[in-house]
Amino acid sequence: MANGASIQLLELGNFCSSTRRLKERSPDLSRPRPRPRRQPGERFRAHPATLTMVSRSVSPGGALLRASRMFSMPAPLPPPAAEAAQATFKSHSDTATSAYPTHQVITTLSHARKEGDWGLKRPLPLRSTTKSSTPMLRIKGIDTIEQITDYASGADHGLTLLKFQELGLPISTPSSFSSSRHRTDAATRSVFEDDIDRTAIAAKDRAKLVDQRWRFSGPWLAGMSPGDFKKYLAERVRPRRAAFRMFLKAKIARDLNETARLKALDNAETEYDKVTVDSILEDDVTEYLRNVRNQNAVLYQLVGEFLDLAPLKQPTELTTEQMLHPPQHTYSTHDTNNPYAEHGPPKTHPSAGLSYIRTGAYMDNHPLYGPQKEHKPVEARVLRPRSQQSYSSAKLGVAGFVTETSEGDNAHNQKSGKSPLRHFDPDLKNGAKVYVQPETASVNSDGKLRIVLKDSVDAEAELVARELIGDGEGIFGQQRKEVEVVSQSTIRKSYSTKLSQGAQDYGLNSEN
Amino acid sequence: MIIRNFGVRHGRQVLSAPHSAPSCLRLFSTQTTTTTTTATPVPGNQEAVEQLAALSATDAAREARLAGRRQQQEIAAIPRNFRKFIKYQKETEKLGSEVERRYLPDEIIRNPPHDASLEDLLAAQCHMGHHVSRWNPANSRYIYGERSDIHIISLEQTAAHLRRAARVVEEVAYHGGLILFVGNRKGQMPIVTRMAELAGACHLFQKWTPGCITNKDVLLQGGQLKIVDERDRELEGFEEHLRDCRPVTPDLVVCLNPLENYALLRECALATVPTVGVIDTDADPSWVTYQIPANDDSLRSVALIAGVLGRAGERGQQRRLADAEKGVVKWQTPKDVFSFIGKVNAKIRREAEEKQENMQKETGGLKPADLMTEDEVIAEMFGQGAVPSKY
C-alpha cells in the first residue's frame, strides 16, 4: 500500500472566493452551432453559446467559477497498472486499498454534513455519510446518467495521509534499491531540493538541465513494454521524421559553426563564415545519420533531446534473471546524475503530496524530558514474521504502508529472545506489534511508497513513547493508572462544593 | 498550563476577587485539595467533662451573640458586595474572545437574503447542472460550459432571471394576488412553508391533486374562504356569497421542482395562471412562464432561490399594507364579489323604500327622516355595505 498522488482534504461545503461586482448580460439566443470536440487534456469546455458572448476577458461569474473549489478538483489519475493487470486474476481483492489514491478526497463541515451538504449537485444520503467518524469521500461523478452522485468512502487514503504526516518523515529521492530491505546511505536528498525539483525550464535549456528535472514529455524507455514501445514508435515518433531532420540540420550547423569558430581562434582571426541551417543539404543529414548510427551514446543523446526522453541508467540492483544470464552487451549511455534515471521518473511530483517537510533533522520535544535525541518510535503491526526457510524479512505495517525490516546484522534479525518478528503467536489479541523507527521514505515510479526503517530502536526513546500513551511502566517506575469508576452522586457532590467555592471567589461573602 | 494564557483564562477571577496565596495555587493545580476536620473525643474524667460543659454553656451564649452580630454584618454587606460584583462584572465583560459562528445551514431558511449575489449562488451550488447527456437543448442559453461531465449554469443568467422572478412575485403580492409556493421533493417542506409564511402565500409540499384548477368546482367544493378588506381584516356579511361562490385559483404559482409537477404547470397554462419555476439543465423551460435557471436538486440552492422569492413577496405585502394605510388601493374587487355587493345594496335600498312607503301609509304625511335617529339618516345618505372588499 502506498500513496502516489496528492491527497488533500478539501472542504467543498462553504466556498466563496472573491467579491466582484455583478455585471448582467442579456441572454444570447444564438443559433445552434456545431460543438467542438473536446481535446485530450482539456478539462473545461465553454459552451458554444457562451463562446459567442465571452470576449477575451472572463465574465465575473466565470472568474468566480474558475476560483471555485469544484473547479479546483484535480482530474482522476489512471488506476495503478499492476492492479489493473491483477484484476483478471483470482488473487485480486475488491476491498484492498489501491496502491495510490486516484481521486481527490473531500470532506465537509459537521453542520453541513448533518444536512447532507457536501457542496455537490445534490445532498448525499444521510444514512451512509453521517455515521462515519472519518467524514472523507471521493467523488467519482458529480452527476451521472442515472441521476445519482457517484461517491465512495475516501477514508482509507485520507487516514493513511494523516497517519503518515504524524510520522514527520520527509520524502527523499528514490534509492537504487527497490526493496526496503536494503538500507541506503544516510545521506538522502529531499525531493524539494532546488537542484532536482525544477519544472519551469525554457525549451532550449531542457536538455542541458536534464539532471535537475523529474517531469519529461517523452517516456522512460526502460519501463515500456515492447507493445507500448512499438505503439509509441508508430504513433508519436514516426510522424516526426521531418522535424527530426530539421533538428539534425540545426545540430550540424551548430557543430560546423563551432568548429569554424575554434579554427578561426587558432588562426587568430576574428571573422569566420557562419553556416545557416538552410544551407545544410538533405544529403548532409543522411550522411550524418549514417555516421551517428554506430555511436550509441551520441545517437541516444540526440534522440533523447529531440523526444525529451527521461534519462536512463544501468540499474545497480540485478534481477534474478540478470544474475543467471548476465547481459552480453551493455549499451553505454551518457552518465547521468538524475535520481529518477534508474527506476523511472514519477508520475506526479516526487513527494506525491504526502509530506512537504524538507528534512528530518529536527528535534522532538517532550513536555517533561525536553528535547529528544531520537524521533518518537512508532508502533508497527507485524504482518508476517521473518521466515526461516526463505530467508525473507519480516513484513511490517507502518502508518498504513507495508515495509520490511532491513537485512544484515541488526536488532531486527537477532536470534535471541522470543521476538514477534521471528515467531508467530496465534494467541495474541489484535496481532503482534513492535516499535520501529522509520528513517527515510521515497515514492517510486509506480506510485508506491518505500519506507526504510532504522536498524534498531533506541530503548530509551521507546520507553518515552510508551509512557506518553500510558502503556507499560514509565521511566520512574510508575504504573499505568487505572481509570476509576466514579458514581454519579460523587460527581454531583464535587460540583456542588465547587460551585459554593466559586461564589466565595466572586466576592459575594462578607469576608471580602 | 501555559503561563502566557494565564491572564486571559483567569483574568476575570483575578480582577474580581483578591485571592489569597492558597487559592492562587489552586488555579495552577488540577488536583483538588480538601481538608476535612473531624471531631476527636477528648479523653478525661467526668469532672473535667462537666467543667468543660459549664464552660461551653457560657461560650455558647457568647457564640450566639457573636453569630447574631455576624449575621447582621453579613446582611449589611450584601448591597455593598453586590455593587462590587456588578462593578467587576462590568470591568471584565470585555475580556476574552467572541466566538462567531460563520456558517449555519438553516440560516438561509430562517433569515433569507433579499437578493442573491453571484457568490451566494456559487456557494449554494446553483451552478451545477445535470450530466451532459441529460440536457435539454432548450436550456443552451443558460449553460456556461461543462465540467466533470456536468453542465455548468451561468451564474449571471441565474442572478438576472432570479431578479426578474422576484420582481414578478413582489408585484403580484403588491396587487393583492394569491401566490402558491410548490416544492414537493424530499426535504423541501421547511423551505416551502417558510417562504410561504414570509410572502403571505399558500404552500404545497405534497402531491398536487390533478384538476385542482381545471376541475376546481368538484375537487375544491366546500373549501373555506373569507372576504377581507384592504387592510386584511375579515369582513362580515358575505356568508351568502361564500356559500355560493366558486373555489379560487392562484394568481401566481412558484414551482421549485417543475419536473415532478407537469400536471400543475399544464393546468396553470390552461387557466392562464403565470408560473415561476427553477429550471435545471434537464427541464423544459417552456413549462413555466418565468424561468430561473439553477440547480433544483440541492436543497441549499432551492432554499436560496425560494428565500429570495419569499422575501420579494414579503416586500410586496408590506408595500401593499403601507399603501392601504394611506388609502391607496391598487387592486380591484373581484367581479363576482362586486356584483354580490351590488345585489345586496339594491336589496337594502328596495327594502328601505318599501319600509318608507309603509311608514308613509301609517303616519300619513310625516317624512321618514323625522322618525329616524341621526345615525340612521347618515347611513341612509351614504349607503350601506359599499366597502371595498376582496378574498
Q: Which range scores top for mean pLDDT: A52-61, A196-205, B27-36? A: A196-205
Mean pLDDT to the nearest integer, A244-262: 93
Cα Rg of chain B, angstroms: 38
pLDDT at A92: 65
Query: B198 lies in a domain?
Result: yes
Instruction: Quote the pLDDT of residue A498.
Output: 54
pLDDT band, very low/low/confident/very high, at A177 (cuts 50, 70, 90): confident
To test the contact with chain A by mutation, choose from B85, B298, B299 the residue with the greatest count of A C-beta atoms within 10 A, namely: B298
Q: What is the mean pLDDT of residues B200-213?
A: 96
Taking 70 as the threshold, does the pLDDT of residue A393 lie above it?
Answer: yes
Inter-chain residue contact B130 with A147, CB threshold 8 Å: yes
| Out of A15, A142, A144, closest to residue B128 by CB | A142
Does ipTM come in above 0.85?
no
Position A359 in a domain: no
Maximal C-alpha separation, chain A: 113
pLDDT score recorded for residue A409: 72
Q: B101 to chain A: nearest residue by CA?
A: A111
DSSP string, A452-481: EE-SS--HHHHHHHHHHTT-S--TT-PPPP
Read off the C-alpha cell for A256: 560546423
- Give yes or no for residue A20 having a pLDDT over 50: no
Query: In this complex, do A24 and B73 lie within 8 Å of one another by their Cβ atoms?
Result: no
Question: A229 lies in which domain range?
Answer: 221-309
Q: Which helix (H) or strand (E) holds A404?
A: strand A401-404
User: pTM of the entire structure?
Assistant: 0.71
Helix, strand and coil in chain A, % to nearest 5: 30, 10, 60
In a domain, B304, yes or no: yes
Which site among A121, A494, A497 would you substitute to test the B interface, given the most B Cβ atoms closer than 10 Å to its Cβ?
Answer: A121
Q: Return residues 108-147 of A near B (CB < 8 Å).
A: 109, 111-112, 114-117, 119-123, 141-145, 147
Q: Tell me how many domains chain B contains.
A: 1
pLDDT for B26 equals 47
Determine, yes or no, domain membership for B308.
yes
The contacts of residue A45 (CB under 8 Å, 6+ apart) are: A36, A38, B145, B146
Read off the pLDDT band of B15 (50, 70, 90): low
Does B386 have pLDDT greater than 60?
A: no
Q: Which element (helix H / strand E) includes B150? A: strand B150-153
* Residue closest to A411 by CA, chosen among A454, A473, A466: A454
Q: How far lies B41's CA from each of B44, B49, B230, in Å?
A: 9, 11, 89
Which of B125, B148, B155 lies at the smallest CB-CB distance from A64?
B155
Per the domain annotation, does B388 fall within a domain? no
The CA distance from A187 to A179, in Å, is 18
> What's the whole-number average pLDDT of chain A?
80
Q: Which of B84, B143, B159 sits opposite A507 (nearest CB)?
A: B84
Distance, C-alpha B104 to centroid of its chain: 17
CB A210 within 8 A of CB A218: no
Put simply, whether A33 touches B (Cβ < 8 Å) is: no
pLDDT(B8) > 80: no
Summarised one tens digit per residue, pLDDT across range A107-156 is 998 889 999 999 999 999 999 999 989 999 999 999 999 999 999 999 99
How many structural domains is chain A composed of?
Answer: 2
Contact A14 B122 (CB under 8 A): no
∠ CA(B190), CA(B192), CA(B198), 5° rounding?
100
Query: What nine digits make up the cell of B306?
Result: 425560494
Q: What is the mean pLDDT of chain B?
A: 86
Higher pLDDT, B370 or A305: A305
pLDDT of residue A26: 34
Return phi, psi of residue A341, to 5°: -75, -30
Nearest Cβ partner for A61 among B73, B147, B154: B154
The pLDDT value given to residue A17: 33
pLDDT band at A47 (very low <50, low <70, confident <90, very high): low
On whether residue A248 sits in a domain, the answer given is yes
Write down which residue in A134, A157, A180 finishes a domain: A157
Contact residues for B380 (Cβ-Cβ < 8 A; gap 6+):
B352, B369, B372
**Secondary structure class of B46 (helix, strand, coil):** helix
B122: pLDDT confidence band, cut at 50, 70 and 90? very high
Which residues of chain B are within 8 Å of residue A508 when distances are taken between CB atoms? 81-82, 85
pLDDT of residue B20: 45
Region B377-385 average pLDDT: 70
Q: Which residue among A22, A68, A116 places its CB closest to the CB of B117?
A: A22
In the predicted structure, residue A319 carries a pLDDT above the cut 70:
no
Task: Determine whether the interchain pair A23/B156 forms a contact, defined as Cβ–Cβ distance below 8 Å.
Answer: yes
* Nearest Cβ partner for A29 among B34, B141, B143: B141
Q: Which of A263, A285, A309 represents a domain boundary (last residue)?
A: A309
Whether A48 is covered by a domain: the verdict is no
Looking at the complex, report in whole angstroms how far the Cα of residue B220 sits from the nearest Cα belonging to chain A. 35
Distance CA A68, CA A80 (A): 29
Q: Which helix (H) or strand (E) holds A402?
A: strand A401-404
A347: burial class by Cβ within 10 Å (0-12, 13-18, 19+)? middle
Which residue range(s) make up the domain with B269?
A: 117-213+249-318
The answer to whether A506 contacts B85, with C-beta atoms less than 8 Å apart, is yes
Whole-number CA gyration radius for chain A: 31
Residue B269 lies inside a defined structural domain of this protein: yes
| pLDDT at residue A42 in the model | 56
Nearest chain B Cα to A59, which residue?
B156
pLDDT of residue B9 exceeding 60, the answer is: no
Position B71 scores a pLDDT of: 93
Residues A226 and A303 in one domain: yes
DSSP B330: -
- B104 located within any domain: no
User: Last residue of a domain, which of A267, A288, A309?
Assistant: A309
User: Quick check: B134 and A64 CB within 8 A?
Assistant: no
A94 vs A56, more confident: A94
pLDDT at B205 over 50: yes
| Grid cell in block for residue A362 | 529536527
Q: Considering only residues B98 and B136, tell me which one the structure prediction assigns the higher pLDDT.
A: B136
Residues of chain B with Cβ-Cβ distance to A143 below 8 Å are 128-131, 134, 149-150
Bridge partners of A371, per DSSP, are A365
Decide which of A222 and A36 is more confident.
Answer: A222
Span of A401-405, A421-425, A491-495 with lowest mean pLDDT = A491-495
What percent of chain B has pLDDT above 70? 83
DSSP states along A85-136:
HHTTSTT--TTSPPSS--S-EEE--HHHHHTT-SSSSSPPPHHHHSS-SS--
Minimal CA separation from A73 to chain B, in Å:
9
Band (pLDDT 50/70/90 cuts) for residue A473 is low
Q: Nearest-5° angle of CA A400, CA A406, CA A411?
A: 105
Q: How confident is the model at residue A21 (pLDDT cuts 50, 70, 90)?
A: very low
Confidence of residue A16 (pLDDT cuts 50, 70, 90): very low
Q: How many CB atoms lie within 10 A of CB B73?
A: 10
pLDDT tens across B284-318, in order? 999 999 999 999 999 999 999 999 999 999 999 99
3-class DSSP state of B61: helix
Residue B153: give its domain's CATH number.
3.40.50.10490
pLDDT for the residue A28: 37
Checking if the pLDDT of B144 tops 80, the result is yes
Among A30, A61, A510, the residue with its CB nearest the CB of B118 is: A61
Contact A15 B128 (CB under 8 A): no
Is A253 within the bounds of a domain?
yes
Comparing A307 with A13, the larger pLDDT belongs to A307
Does residue B310 lie in a domain region? yes
List the one residue out of A105, A109, A96, A102 whose CA is nearest residue A13: A109
Phi, psi of A365 (to 5 degrees): -115, 130
CA separation for the pair A104, A297 (Å, rounded)? 42
